Amino acid sequence: MAEIRSYPIARHLRAEPTAHVVFFKRGKKKRSGPGLAFWFLPLGASLAEVPLEDKDLAFVVSSRSSDFQEVSVNGVVAVRTADPDLLASRIDFSIDAKTGAFRSDPLDKLAAVVIQRAQELVAAYLGRHPLGALLEGGADGLRDVVGRGLAADQALISLGLAVVATRILSVRPSPELDKALQMPARERIQQAADEATFARRALAVDKERAIQENELANKIALARREEALIAQRGQNEKKRISDEIEARRIAAEGAAENQRIEAEASASALRVTEEARVEAERERMHIYRDLPSAALLGLAARELASNLHTIEHLTLAPDSLGPLLQRVLGAQARNLEAQE
């Protein structure tokens, strides 16, 4: 919007570079150009301001395809002012000489003209093609048709407008039909997801089976090792017992042999002792055999006296003592004679 400042006699206008200002004085064009700045007298002055920047005009079209299906199209048309003087002469872009504001809504009128023409081209294109072709072709074919149609439209050219670009944002059927069309793709996606789930479950089952088989193999290996360990322990225990029995047998045999040797030694010693005793007894008996009875009686008495610890009573009869004394005295006499 142009900036207008009021002073006591005159007014000053300053426009932006993106605005084309047309100044009329008493019905005659005095100035015309973008970004003007000038003084003017308000009496008999008329001003028009035409925007020069690109305008993006959005439109929505709901129409039927050739197979009688509802189709909705969203798009944007970018337009530019090619001839601002011509556009100012066709659409009222006059501004207030005091405030610089538009006296009407020229931009809305301009947008309505462009959008209506774009809607006509879109509706015509939709009516010539079935829904499947529209959805498969997408926005490319429709964009080319609308862009060429607007660029060659004489109504827009006569207004001094130029179409910069045309964009088709979406081509969609009705919600019910869109849902029905999405159903096969959704079913395929769901089927693929189910197959992936089944494959994942099958893989999990295979892995679980492999894990169980591995665990079973480990258990079998451990059982075999445990069996070998038990057998080895049995063999070790058997060998230990047999070694203990053998050691006991050897010890018993050694003890028996020692006892036998000791017994034989004892028997030999006893036999030697007894033989010596018997021999001594024999020699003594041989000596006693030649002794007279009186000597034998004396030895018997001495032996008896050595074995008796206490003699309480001793009785000597004359009958026994007389012959004994005679024999002792006689033996003593014989000994004396022998010595002489």
Q: Which tops the pLDDT comparison, 306 or 137?
A: 137
The arrangement of strands across the sheet holding 37-40 comes to: 3-6, 11-14, 37-40
In the chain, what are the domains?
A: 52-173 (3.30.479.30)
Least confident of 164-173, 212-221, 245-254, 312-321: 312-321
Q: Which two tokens stand for residue 55?
A: 């305008």
Q: Which two tokens stand for residue 5?
A: 């400042």
Across the strands, what pairs with 23? 31, 47
Cα dihedral 168, 119, 153, 146 in deg (nearest 10):
20
Give whole-number Cα distances, 167 to 124, 170, 293, in Å: 17, 9, 175
The structure's pTM equals 0.54
Do the Cβ atoms of 24 and 89 come closer than 8 Å?
A: no
Q: In this predicted structure, what is the pLDDT of residue 65?
A: 87
Position 225, amino acid: R
Q: What is the pLDDT of residues 89-113, one digit of tens each?
A: 899 999 998 898 999 899 999 999 9
Q: Which two tokens stand for residue 74?
A: 């969203």
Q: In this predicted structure, what is the pLDDT of residue 257?
A: 83
Q: Which two tokens stand for residue 293?
A: 């009875």
Sign of the torsion angle spanned by Cα atoms 157, 160, 164, 170: negative
Least confident of 131-135, 138-142, 221-225, 282-286: 282-286
Across the strands, what pairs with 167? 76
Band of the pLDDT at 16, cuts 50, 70, 90? very high
Band of the pLDDT at 239, cuts 50, 70, 90? confident
Q: Which two tokens stand for residue 310?
A: 């206490």
Helix 293-307, helix 318-339: angle, nearest 10: 120
Q: What one-character-per-residue DSSP string does 217-277 give?
A: HHHHHHHHHHHHHHHHHHHHHHHHHHHHHHHHHHHHHHHHHHHHHHHHHHHHHHHHHHHHH
pLDDT at 8 over 60: yes
